[in-house]
Structure 1
Amino acid sequence: MSPAMALNEQRSKDDAEERSQYEKGVKQLCEKGHIHAVPKKYILPVSERPTKSVEDSKVVNQNLQLPIIDFSELLGPNRPQALQSLANACQQYGFFQLVNHCISDDVVRSMIDVSGRFFDLPLEERGQYMTTDMAAPVRCGTSFSQTKDSVLCWRDFLKLLCHPLPDFLPHWPVSPVDFREVVGTYAEETRHLFLVVMEAILEGLGIVQNEEGEEESVVKEFENGSQMMVANFYPRCPEPELTLGIPPHSDYGFLTLLLQDEVEGLQVQYQDKWVTVQPIPNAFVVNVGDHLEIYSNGKYKSVLHRVVVNEVKSRMSVASLHSLPFNCTVKPSPKLVDEANPKRYMDTDFASFLAYVSSRGPNKKDFLESRKLH
């Protein structure tokens, strides 16, 4: 073998070992040895870094006070005012914090706790759920596509398909021992919460039941709809100004209900600036997804958001993403399309989304942009 061939072979081996190491996740990378610097594979181009420089006009250091929606008000005599507040939040921010939501503190705390304990499992146990198959009922991984991404994300995740629960529960991890019970309870309660909030959003959009029974039909589809849970773990980072936990993106689906611990990290793009969302204990951060933007014919906008990391504390969050069944077509509501408001988005489905992100990876709102009728 020539020296050049030997060198190329060694480089290929080194590249394969490096890829293999990254595929094991950020937590494993940090546990392998005390890291004093962010590996180059995680370093973003300068223009994409989450700088906190006061000279950067695109970053606001103060926290953003999102609209607060009191769930109990939606169920009481003040429902009309609560519906208006909800509509304003969806239209002006695309995000709100939901309080007094009837899911017990114990269920919420247990969900964060069991997620943390899952990521504390040895790599051998977590590794059996690692796959590049985006349609898998259980998928443990890191970044988005650790085999294709040019820059990796500083996070590890566990994604679970949740509904119908009896179909997916047997696929879920058996460790920790209480994982299926805790997460199953949380999944069912968040699904019920989504249905009540989504019905209120439909009412706020003026989509009330008519002769054709449109609202009744849509609500029925939501009852059989898709639900995906994503537990995210963001380890401490030695150089948080060089990388991101998750880059700017909007969410697929109608609504996302996000549970986060007390550590700040979520940032929302508001008035063209990045602002940090202050965690409220036991509240959900709820945001409009791409499907709701399409269904509302652009009245409600899915909003770009990202996750920053820090060097002091690790962070845990759990996102519950809800939409219509995977085999359904999403299109603007006929009630929101007329001569003054023509149809602004083409019909879409989950297969189109999977095909798009599998070929390109998620980037900002590119998929939604590809659905727009110009």
Structure 2
Amino acid sequence: MLVGNSNDQDFLLKQLKAFDKSKAGVKGIVDAGITKIPPIFVHPPRHPGQLTQTEFIIPVVDLADVAVGMRRHAEVVDGVRRAAESVGLFQVVNHGIPKKILDEILQAMHGFHELPKEVKAEFYSKDLMRKVRFSGNYNLGTSGFAEWRDSFLCEMSSETVDPQELPEVCRDITMVYSQYAQNLGATLFELLSDALGLKPDHLVGLDCAKGHLIVGNYYPPRPEPDLTMGHVKHTDLSFLGILLQDNINALQLLYQNQWIDVPPMPGALVVNIGDFLQLISNNKYISVTHRVLAKKEGARVSVGCFFRHISPGRLYEPIKELTSEDNPPVYCGTTVGDYRTGHYQKGLINGVSGLEYLKL
């Protein structure tokens, strides 16, 4: 965090700008042979009073035989409901994405981040409207310090994506994985709709599944892992997130004021509720607060798929069927674009959910 006198702040801001200008990302710093974390990556203490609760078990939902009318449908809907209402995060198995595809997308994202910096620099951009971009930390400067992460981002939708815009090293598998993730997302939205007592196609009808952002995060090995973070405490700017982890345990969620490890499960995907699903469900579902720790182990990769439809005129507000005189709307309406550039940024800066600024 940028604290201290103005000279300290000026120094750190200059470092942030130099880091951004290099277009080499965090990996570029590691490749330069550093042995200590640069000051711009040094984060405040990790709230030592919030201890990790090892007894808590992350909910797991088995999506086998999940279709309406099948034997396990009601059981699966109930599991999704309980996880979305109480935790905001769960893991799914038998989700329909082959292990081969999961392995290949992780390998492809790792391959992109291992490209020469001159090649990656062609994709480097801080322009949020660019569909395919690379950023050495895409929240750079939001909270006054950088995070130990490089990110490759692809805005995927049938109207906008052009496969030729993607780098060759990850082009084909990204398109394939995107389609699998899209299908899985549609299934999850149907289950979440059903769990709210709505028609199965209600959330899909609100364009919740119309577009998604694929993010390939790369976390280089770090010399002083206790001083920095892979991703600070945050909620997601999305309706729903689907996360593929590698085999290094670094993800944590905040549950009852305690940080809980979300260990990788072979073949499983992590599903988390985002801010916009909490908004339109009128607090029925919880947007989970989570973070990613820095690890000293070798470079690790994760792939996130975040469902959000950035339409300039699409207003999202609590679903009318979920509100009443006894249960009035909690939030005012907003568009995804306005929320991203306004309330969400305020939340990141102040360490809270951006939804706090939308409360009526």
TM-score, normalization by structure 2: 0.89
Q: Which residue of 2 aligns with 1:331?
A: 317
Residues of 2 paired with 1:236 and 1:68: CA distance? 30
Cα gap change, 1:306/1:217 in structure 2, threshold over 3 Å: closer, same or farther? closer
Does the Cα contact within 8 Å between 2:237 and 2:344 map onto a contact in 1? no
Q: Which residue of 1 aligns with 2:342?
A: 356
Matched, 1:317 2:311: no
Which one of 51, 58, 62 corresponds to residue 59 of structure 1? 51
Amino acid at match of 1:95: L
Residues of 1 paired with 2:32 and 2:215: CA distance? 25
SS at match of 1:245: strand
Give structure 1 regions of 4+ aligned residues with deviation exceeding 6 angstroms: none
SS at match of 1:181: helix
Q: CA deviation at 1:220?
A: 3.4
Amino acid at match of 2:36: A
Q: CA deviation at 1:146?
A: 3.2
Residues of 1 paired with 2:16 and 2:252: CA distance? 34
Cα gap change, 1:345/1:41 in structure 2, threshold over 3 Å: closer, same or farther? same
Residues of 2 paired with 1:202 and 1:224: CA distance? 12
Q: Which residue of 2 aligns with 1:211?
A: none
Q: Which residue of 2 aligns with 1:78?
A: 72
Q: Which residue of 2 aligns with 1:188?
A: 179
Amino acid at match of 2:25: G
Does the Cα contact within 8 Å between 1:304 and 1:365 map onto a contact in 2? no
Does the Cα contact within 8 Å between 2:25 and 2:135 map onto a contact in 1? yes
Q: Which residue of 2 aligns with 1:6?
A: none
Amino acid at match of 2:300: R
Residues of 1 paired with 2:55 and 2:122: CA distance? 39
Q: Which residue of 1 aligns with 2:190?
A: 199
Q: Which residue of 2 aligns with 1:32?
A: 32
TM-score, normalization by structure 1: 0.86
Question: Structure 1: which 5+ residue stretches go unaligned?
Answer: 1-10, 51-55, 209-214
Does the Cα contact within 8 Å between 2:209 and 2:307 map onto a contact in 1? no
Instruction: Give the 5 Å matches for 1:157-176.
Output: 157-164=151-158, 167-170=160-163, 172-176=165-169
Residues of 1 paired with 2:245 and 2:146: CA distance? 22
Cα gap change, 1:17/1:152 in structure 2, threshold over 3 Å: closer, same or farther? closer
Residues of 2 paired with 1:67 and 1:22: CA distance? 42
Does the Cα contact within 8 Å between 1:160 and 1:172 map onto a contact in 2? no
Residues of 1 paired with 2:302 and 2:168: CA distance? 19
Cα gap change, 1:149/1:18 in structure 2, threshold over 3 Å: closer, same or farther? farther
Q: CA deviation at 1:357?
A: 6.3
Matched, 1:219 2:210: no
Q: CA deviation at 1:326?
A: 2.6
Q: CA deviation at 1:41?
A: 0.9
Q: Which has the larger radius of gyration?
A: 1
Instruction: Give the 5 Å matches for 1:1-374.
Output: 18-20=18-20, 23-33=23-33, 35-46=34-45, 49=46, 56-60=48-52, 62=54, 64-75=56-67, 76-146=70-140, 150-164=144-158, 167-170=160-163, 172-176=165-169, 179-208=170-199, 216=201, 218-222=203-207, 225-324=210-309, 326-327=311-312, 328-356=314-342, 360=346, 362-363=348-349, 364-373=351-360
Does the Cα contact within 8 Å between 2:163 and 2:175 map onto a contact in 1? no
Q: CA deviation at 1:110?
A: 0.6
Does the Cα contact within 8 Å between 1:224 and 1:325 map onto a contact in 2? no
Residues of 2 paired with 1:202 and 1:60: CA distance? 32
CA displacement, residues 27-65 of structure 1 (integer Å, 9 cap, x when unaligned):
0100111x221111100123xx37xxxxx3302163752
Cα gap change, 1:117/1:300 in structure 2, threshold over 3 Å: closer, same or farther? same
Q: CA deviation at 1:370?
A: 1.0
Q: CA deviation at 1:234?
A: 0.4
**How many residue pairs were aligned?**
345
Identify which range, 268-277 or 141-150, moves more after superposition. 141-150
Cα gap change, 1:191/1:238 in structure 2, threshold over 3 Å: closer, same or farther? same
Identity %: 27
Residues of 2 paired with 1:157 and 1:109: CA distance? 18
Cα gap change, 1:368/1:340 in structure 2, threshold over 3 Å: closer, same or farther? same
Residues of 2 paired with 1:145 and 1:223: CA distance? 24
Residues of 2 paired with 1:69 and 1:16: CA distance? 42
Q: CA deviation at 1:258?
A: 0.2
Q: CA deviation at 1:17?
A: 8.0
Does the Cα contact within 8 Å between 2:16 and 2:146 map onto a contact in 1? no
Does the Cα contact within 8 Å between 1:253 and 1:289 map onto a contact in 2? yes
SS at match of 1:62: coil
